[in-house]
Amino acid sequence: MDYIKQLLTLRATSLDTAQITLTTGILVLGTVAFVNDNAVAISNGINILVIPFDKIVSVA
């Protein structure tokens, strides 16, 4: 779960786009809206996707 630090850093800079690879192989692009103990929320336009940490493979 090394990616939690990356997610928090991306949230702090808020203009950086996160690239999250899910366990399903799907790549999600967007701005980190929030990070809590269990999940991250990614916003893309008016859409927000909440992703549990156990579904994340990597963050770039």
- pLDDT tens profile 19-29: 999 999 999 99
% the chain with pLDDT above 90? 43
In 1-60, DSSP assigns E strands to 17-22, 27-35, 39-44, 47-52, 56-59
Average pLDDT, integer, range 30-47: 87
Residue 14 pLDDT > 80: no
Predicted confidence at residue 28, as pLDDT, reads 95
Backbone angles phi, psi at 12, to 5 degrees: -65, -35
Predicted confidence at residue 25, as pLDDT, reads 97
Average pLDDT, integer, range 21-47: 90
For each of the domains in the chain, give its residue range(s) and CATH number, in order of start: 3-59 (2.30.30.100)
